[in-house]
Amino acid sequence: MANKPKTTDRERDGVTRRGFISTVGAGALGAATVGTSRAEAVPEITAPEAMVQIGLTINGRIHRLLVEPRWTLLFTLRERLGLTGTKVGCERGECGACTVLINGQPRYACMTLAVEAEGSQITTIEGLMDGEALGDVQQAFVNEDAFQCGYCTPGQIMAAEGLLQANPSPSTEEIRKGMSGNLCRCAAYHHIVRAVDSAADGRREGDDR
């Protein structure tokens, strides 16, 4: 008579090796099923090239247009709205040539998505003019010869406008600090500081009248 195999402790407790593996397999299958269900519940990610409709308030006028979520405000201003006063420079937030005002604050348009700017008040260099007449900061730059090649000038003027809106009477050091985010390859910095100071003086004189 063949010897009867010994009964292990696990078998006596009602758990066999095969049963244990089957149980683990069933649990893993259940976990995989749950994971699949959760994955299916996650909303689909919007493709970068998918167009979305936004409304941008620029220089007091609302523009409704379709944009890709990845488009920068700089690209949208120049290539979709024809506002080419805002210049393309480094496109990585270092030179300041693309500076605009967003809710009165100087911002790099190359580092701001168009969709981020929806609902904000955007001012470009074109928005400082009164018809064909230059704004006071623009005129101060002309009077003080605060440019050479002129490529960085729109960004310089927008930074100066933002500075004067926040601080109508800046000191020379405050002007230098406020304009430090805008580079001039022609190195007209001394004239730029004088222009900002002149614009500040003109505004104060206008307020005193």
Q: How does pLDDT run across 129-183, given as a tens digit for each residue? A: 999 999 999 999 999 999 999 999 999 999 999 999 999 999 999 999 999 999 9
pLDDT in the model for residue 24: 43
Is 21 domain-assigned?
A: no
- Largest Cα span, the chain: 123
Is 134 domain-assigned?
A: yes
Query: What does pLDDT average to in each consecutive run of 10 residues of the chain (209 residues)?
Result: 51 47 45 48 70 97 97 98 98 97 98 98 97 96 96 98 98 98 96 98 84
> Angle at the Cα of 58 (from 65 to 152), degrees rounded to 5?
110
pTM confidence score: 0.77
CATH number at residue 131: 3.10.20.30
Is 43 domain-assigned?
A: no
Is 82 domain-assigned?
A: yes
The DSSP 8-state label assigned to residue 113 in this structure reads B
State which H helix or E strand residue 176 sits in.
helix 172-178
How many domains does the chain divide into? Answer: 1
Pairing of strands 99-102, 61-67: unpaired
Domain that holds residue 99: 52-204
Is 26 domain-assigned?
A: no
Is 35 domain-assigned?
A: no
Is 190 domain-assigned?
A: yes
Q: Residues 102, 122: contact at Cβ < 8 Å?
A: yes
Is 41 domain-assigned?
A: no
